[in-house]
Amino acid sequence: MKVYQGDSIENVIRLLNGYENPRLIAGGTDFILSFKDNGIPELLIDISNIEELRRIVEKEDYIEIGAGVTFTQIVESELFEGKLYGFKKACRSVGSPQIRNRGTIGGNIVNCSAAADSIPPLICLDSTIVLKSSRGTRELKLEQYLQNYSEQKISNDELLTSIRFKKPIGTLNFAKLGLRKALAISRISIATLIELEEERTIKSLKVSSGSIGRYPMREIEVENYLKGKRLTQNTLDEAIKGLQESMDKRLEGRSTLAYKRTAVERVLTESLMEGMSALGEVVL
């Protein structure tokens, strides 16, 4: 196996274009495991030391996260306090300190697991992913990328360089169910982005889930039902019922459906309640 140490985005794009079947490695936390099934690749390009990929840039109205930013960098950044705390919470829930030190946001997105913890909050934020290759730059909404994965999937000569989103008006929250406290892959995760009206009704709401479908996705029925309402025990119960009905269709025939149907109640409640209490609303 040949290994190149990438030192700039341009240099990596050139290498990706110049070889038959090059593979990229960032933190390696997913990729190394794939060696067992897929064998060792002939050519590996290590992108873990490219400074430009490891930056978090704050502009007046948006934030751009380099694809090589690690979960630890997110957890330690003050940018992800307050309204963006849900993103920090999701990144803090990943694996263990060792995994968070190596694992990157870019790798989490490209690996595209239904259980990827950074994705539901990034969907709520309506994030855009930026892909570069010798053919130019491609920008895609993360949500659309996941929905049309087979047509839009990142090709062999493309490098994911960053993820960008507008600073939200609402407050982002995240809740996850794992089988234990650390090193727990999500059984269910839910991110919510909530904005309230003056009279405390929900003005806008985004809800996105992980591990209850083929890929992380928006939960449109829950959003549409709760928008314009106050969060009470009744409205929460109805929202949970709506989500369970969508899960019945999506997870039909899966052995985990009965368990996830029950467990989702608590996860959705936690994500919504944390959001409301962060907004100063005492609920239920």
Ligand X SMILES: Cc1cc2nc3c(=O)[nH]c(=O)nc-3n(C[C@H](O)[C@H](O)[C@H](O)COP(=O)(O)OP(=O)(O)OC[C@H]3O[C@@H](n4cnc5c(N)ncnc54)[C@H](O)[C@@H]3O)c2cc1C
Contact region for ligand X (CB under 6 A) — 91-99, 135-143, 265-273, 274-282?
Answer: 91-99
Distance CA 275, CA 284 (A): 13
The secondary structure of residue 180, as a DSSP letter, is S
The secondary structure of residue 153, as a DSSP letter, is P
Output the smallest distance, CB 131 to ligand X, in A. Answer: 8
Output the smallest distance, CB 40 to ligand X, in A. Answer: 13
Contact region for ligand X (CB under 6 A) — 81-89, 153-161, 239-247, 259-267?
Answer: 153-161
* 16 near ligand X (CB under 6 A): no
DSSP per-residue codes, 56-106: EEE-SSEEEEETT-BHHHHHH-GGGSGGGHHHHHHHHTSS-HHHHHH-BHH
Contact region for ligand X (CB under 6 A) — 22-30, 216-224, 232-240, 265-273?
Answer: 22-30
CB 252 within 8 A of CB 152: no
Distance CA 283, CA 114 (A): 31
φ, ψ (nearest 5 deg) of residue 270: -60, -45
Task: Pick the binder of ligand X from 72, 77, 104, 269 (CB under 6 A).
Answer: 104
3-state SS class at 277: helix
* 261 near ligand X (CB under 6 A): no
Task: Pick the binder of ligand X from 16, 110, 191, 243 (CB under 6 A).
Answer: 110
Nearer to ligand X, 173 or 189 (CB): 189
Residues lying near ligand X in the complex (CB under 6 A): 23-31, 47, 67, 94-95, 99, 102-104, 106-108, 110-111, 116-117, 154, 159-160, 183, 185
